[in-house]
Amino acid sequence: MFISMNEAVEFLKNCDNVYILTHQSPDGDCTGAGFALHDILRNMDKKSAVLCCDEFPDKFNFMTDTENNADFTPETFITVDVADKRLLGKYEEIYGDKINLCIDHHISNKDYAERTLLEADSAAACQVLYRLSCAMGVELSDYAACCIYTGIATDTGCFKFENAGAETHRIIAEIMYRHKLKYADINRKMFDIKSKARMILESRFINLMEEYLDNRLIIAPVTIDIINEIGIDYDEFEGLAPMTIELDGTEVGVLMKEREPNIYRCSFRSANDVNVSEICKILDGGGHAKAAGCTIEGCTLEEAKRRIIEAVRKVMP
Ligand SMILES: [Mn+2]
């Protein structure tokens, strides 16, 4: 059931012993929202912990290096930035049907939780959480502000994407005005610093790009063989998908990452008006109009590509 901001405020005021769950392959937004909410709750003298089925990448240490003890009996389950309970990974089975509140900004949200606070026009789950903290009348700590900044910065590609509108800039200005925030440091950590393996993958990217549908579709498959050869970690793929739409003339770009043999995590990006959330819906995934994803499994790479091309053809004019 979708709820209003005020209903979410009431719920948060009255909850306790909270497990906050993020999505698998944690990004800056779900990590930021998870730890910011954790900080808000503990400052209200509530017990909480942030859980993710995958490990948080080291580059998020400045958010995750905090007291985070899940050693209590949870009564409340909250997801942040999780559009579909399947994105909880191995935690889906344990917690998937117990989620009391979902805080999200994905238009494709599956409404799997008891209550869902959905703001599909928000740039990030962290932006929804910021507005929620204002509605609750809580003063953010510098730490929580830093987490929220990071989530908004990463989900907007450092304030570059269309989702970074006036409201987003207004909120960021407010956060910068009120809090000590080393935003240049955060931006460098999130967007500029790369491992050597990541640089090698980027240098080889042009050879991975395959052109389809009159060069309007680019598919870049990164197989386990390549991943092993380069020695790149899965958490080093963030920010790589936009490279699939850098080539002039591309409408849709797809980064395929072979997570396990014949399990492909696919990240879709749209350069202009093609709605990739619609494409991913056909492939049993979801997301936003300009950035979406799905998992294709149980088939060969060639078959997976064929399914992608077919789905793109259905949506792209
Ligand atoms: Mn997000």
* CA 217 to ligand 1 centroid distance, Å: 24
User: How far apart, in Å, are the Cα atoms of 282 and each of 20, 135, 157, 313?
Assistant: 30, 37, 26, 11
Domain end (from 191, 209, 230):
191
Identify whether residues 283 and 184 lie together within a single domain. Answer: no
Q: What value does the mean pLDDT take over residues 303-311?
A: 98
Residues with CB under 5 A from ligand 1 (ion): 29, 81, 124-125, 155
Q: Are 35 and 143 members of one domain? A: yes
Strand arrangement of the beta sheet that strand 252-260 belongs to? 210-212, 217-222, 252-260, 263-270, 291-297, 286-287
30 vs 19: CA distance, rounded Å: 14
CA of 8 relative to ligand 1 center, distance in Å: 18
Q: What pLDDT score does 238 carry?
A: 87
Compute, in angstroms, the gap from residue 159 CA to the centroid of ligand 1.
13
46 pLDDT more than 90: yes
Q: Percent of the chain beyond pLDDT 90?
A: 98
Ligand 1 centroid – CA 36 distance (Å):
14
Of 133, 159, 191, the one marking the end of a domain is: 191
How far is ligand 1, taken at its centre, from the CA of residue 83, in Å? 9
Mean pLDDT of the chain: 97
- Largest Cα–Cα distance in the chain? 58
Residues 109 and 230 in one domain: no
Spacing, Cα 313 to ligand 1 middle (Å): 27
Cα 292 to ligand 1 centre (Å): 11
Q: What are phi and psi of 50, to 5 degrees?
A: -100, 130
Shared-domain flag, residues 179 and 69: yes
155 CA → ligand 1 middle, Å: 6
* CA-wise closest residue to 68 among 88, 48, 54: 48
Q: How many angstroms separate the alpha carbon of residue 60 from the centre of ligand 1?
A: 15
Digit-coded pLDDT (tens) for 82-95: 999 999 999 999 99
Distance from the alpha carbon of residue 235 to the mean position of ligand 1, in angstroms = 16
Q: Mean pLDDT over residues 23-29, rounded?
A: 96
pLDDT at 305: 98
Q: Say yes or no: 184 and 249 in one domain.
A: no
241 Cα–ligand 1 center, Å:
15
pLDDT in tens, 237-274: 988 999 999 999 999 999 999 999 999 999 999 999 99
pLDDT of residue 239: 87
185 with 124, same domain?
yes
Name the domain boundary from 191, 211, 226. Answer: 191
pLDDT tens for each residue of 188-219: 999 999 999 999 999 999 999 999 999 999 99
The number of folded domains in the chain is 2
> What is the C-alpha separation between 25 and 298, in angstroms, rounded?
20
Q: What does the DSSP assignment read for the chain?
A: -B--HHHHHHHHHH--SEEEE--SS--HHHHHHHHHHHHHHHHTT--EEEE-SSPPPGGGHHHH-S-----S---EEEEES-SSGGGGTTHHHHHTT--SEEEE--TT----SSEEEE-TTSS-HHHHHHHHHHHHTPPPPHHHHHHHHHHHHHHTTTTTSTT--HHHHHHHHHHHHHS---HHHHHIIIII---HHHHHHHHTHHHH-EEETTTTEEEEEE-HHHHHHHT--GGG-TT-GGGGG-STT-SEEEEEEEEETTEEEEEEEESSS--HHHHHHHTT-EE-SSEEEEEEESS-HHHHHHHHHHHHHHH--
Cα of 124 vs centre of ligand 1, distance in Å, is: 5
Residues 45, 165, single domain; the answer is yes
171: confidence class by pLDDT, cuts 50, 70, 90: very high
User: Could you list the residue range(s) of the whole structural domain that residue 291 is in?
Assistant: 196-315
What CATH number is given to the structural domain containing 106? Answer: 3.90.1640.10
Indicate if 126 and 182 belong to the same structural domain: yes
Does 174 lie in the same domain as 45?
A: yes
What pLDDT was estimated at residue 317?
87
pTM above 0.85, yes or no: yes
Same-domain status, 36 and 169: yes
For residue 150, the CA-to-ligand 1 centroid distance in Å is: 11
The CATH number given to whatever domain includes residue 255 is: 3.10.310.30
Question: Which residue's structure tokens are 């209550």?
Answer: 115
pLDDT of amino acid 304: 98
My answer on whether 223 and 251 are in the same domain is yes
Q: How many angstroms is it from 125 CA to the middle of ligand 1? A: 5
Q: What percent of the chain has pLDDT over 70?
A: 100
How many Å lie between the centroid of ligand 1 and the Cα of residue 147?
13
Read off the pLDDT of each residue in 121-147 and give the average, rounded to a whole number.
Answer: 98
- Distance in Å from the first CA to the final CA of the chain: 34
Does 103 share its domain with 217? no
How many Å lie between the centroid of ligand 1 and the Cα of residue 53? 17
Q: Separation of 137 CA from ligand 1 center, angstroms?
A: 23
CA 128 / ligand 1 centre spacing (Å) = 10
